[in-house]
Amino acid sequence: MFPSMKHKLKLTTIATHFNSGESQFLRRLSTESSSSLVKNSSSQYINNQKLYKRLSAVGGTGEKIRKVLHSIKRNGGNFTKSDLIDCLKAFRKYGRYHHCHEILEWMDKGKTKFSSSEYALHLSIMSKVKGIDEVEKYFDSIPPYAKNHHVYGALLSCYCAEKMTDKALALFKKMDELNYTSNCLAFNNMMSLYMKVGNPEKVSRLVEEMKEKNIPLTNHTYYTWIQSCRFPVDLERLERVKQDAEENDSVKDDWQIYSHLAGVYIEGGDYEKANTALNKVAELLDDPKNGERNGFHYLISKYSRLGNLKAINQSWDKLKSRFKFNNMSYLVMLQALSKLEDIERLKKCLNEWESGHKIYDDKLPTVVISAYLRHDMLEEAEHLLKDVKDKGDKMIKIAHINFLNYFLEKRKFDSALKHLDAAMEVNWKPMVKKLDPLFEHFKEQKDVDSAEELCKKLEKVQLINSQAYSWLLTTYADAGKTAPDMRERMKVNGVEISTEHEALLQKIC
């Protein structure tokens, strides 16, 4: 995980790739050591691996990072600034942003000299744990000499992540005046923002501006540009983007370009071009240097949407020949076969996983249970559910929800209630609307007791809403029974009494 620390500190580069179309935010982190972090012959040096092991333990103990660092120093231990940054990178990889922030705060309070890139990193981490107001205060506190394109870019990224369009536009304009938009990062952030706030048509304008300024388009730029053709689907514009990407030598062999293209083609109903794009993905993944497990997962999933079983099997065989046994790969394959309603291959794939897995994952048999129920294979589904409970030693929520829906559709309400109870035991909060068939059944049967029992079950996990009370009141009214305290119950639960409610309350109270 960590680089060797035998020599003096070297320059460390951290690259942050923001998800859901956010930009890659490249940071060059200076690793100059502050006086409080320099190694010396009289102290015991703790390298980054040992330091990370010590710090990561706080997740189980609840201890504070700063106390661990102070303890190490008090006991004669020493480490470098670069070691701390390496630990921070590892924490960030696993989403432990609070720990990242504690490390940066400890460094800041210890008067560690930060580079511009490290200030940028602090802004980025702070936005995850403190909110945009604190980010802006920290930005204002950064020395003017350190506020370069990294720092401004980090603040812009925070605004874009929070969908703060006005502030992002104002900052982007200021960055342009300072000549801080001469690379793709600020543009990619703005493109991601426009996608998030529902203005995909503005992405193409930013691309044209990049071209006018001779700013190279990156892989991420193309990903966002392609996705902007989806809302609504514009296949003519998509063709122009495709041609542009294929003429760009720096990105033309990126399989993800073609995977994004395939997705939009599928949305637009052009399955022939979608297949062609997916075949290009397969061709690029054949090269071992490009071959990623996730790439094959994507191929299998998208080919299933096109009903291309032959291509699915080819991709599956290549995946298994190149990579070690993996639960996620089998889950993707099971989902694809389920979408194709290929029950025989589904059984075979599940059996293959059963014989080779090291860690049991109930999500995989749940996919098969769902397929069995769609095909009215109730006995097989129940047998598999029992098998899952025996091996997984727990009741699986999604499977019980599938059984609930199945029995509701078949109007087998006793069985449906059993699976509702099982799902709610593992904290499932059902949408009341999904339970309409049950309420309708109780109303038809004039079964007030069962309707009340269902409401009590729902109240254990959530407040029952206006719709549920409408069913309950109607059941009382149709059964000719009274409930003098019903109006007060509704007020206590914060339910606004509608005209419909009032008419029913007049009958039963």
List phi, psi (to 5°) of 27: -120, 130
For residue 31, the model assigns a pLDDT of 37
What digits encode the pLDDT tens for the residues 139-198?
Answer: 999 999 999 999 999 999 999 999 999 999 999 999 999 999 988 999 999 999 999 999
Kindly report each contact of residues 354-359 with a partner whose C-beta sits within 8 Å and lies 24 or more positions away, as own/partner.
356/325, 357/325, 357/327, 357/330, 358/325, 359/327
Beta bridge partners of 26: 15
Q: Has residue 460 got a pLDDT over 90?
A: no
**Contact call for residues 12 and 82 (beta carbons, < 8 A):** yes
230: DSSP letter: B
List the domains of the chain with CATH numbers. 229-320 (1.25.40), 437-509 (no CATH)
What digits encode the pLDDT tens for the residues 14-29?
Answer: 333 333 333 343 334 3
Give the closest residue to 103 by CA, choosing from 58, 69, 74: 69
Q: Which residues have CB under 8 Å from 42's CB, separation 6+?
A: none
3-state percent helix, strand, coil for the chain, nearest multiple of 5: 70, 5, 30
What digits encode the pLDDT tens for the residues 253-306?
Answer: 899 999 999 999 999 999 999 999 999 999 999 987 777 899 999 999 999 999
What digits encode the pLDDT tens for the residues 293-351?
Answer: 999 999 999 999 999 999 999 999 999 999 999 999 999 999 999 999 999 999 999 99
pTM: 0.78
What digits encode the pLDDT tens for the residues 372-430?
Answer: 999 999 999 999 999 988 886 565 789 999 999 999 999 999 999 999 999 998 888 88
The DSSP bridge pattern shows strands 24-29 and 44-45 to be unpaired
Q: Is 217 left (phi over 0), alpha (psi -120 to 50) or beta?
A: beta
Measured distance CA(161)–CA(125) in Å, rounded: 12
**Contact call for residues 296 and 318 (beta carbons, < 8 A):** yes
**Contact call for residues 117 and 150 (beta carbons, < 8 A):** yes
Measured distance CA(180)–CA(186) in Å, rounded: 8
For residue 36, the model assigns a pLDDT of 39
Q: Has residue 34 got a pLDDT over 50?
A: no
Measured distance CA(282)–CA(308) in Å, rounded: 13
Structural Rg of the chain based on CA atoms: 29
List phi, psi (to 5°) of 64: -90, 140
Measured distance CA(306)–CA(293) in Å, rounded: 21
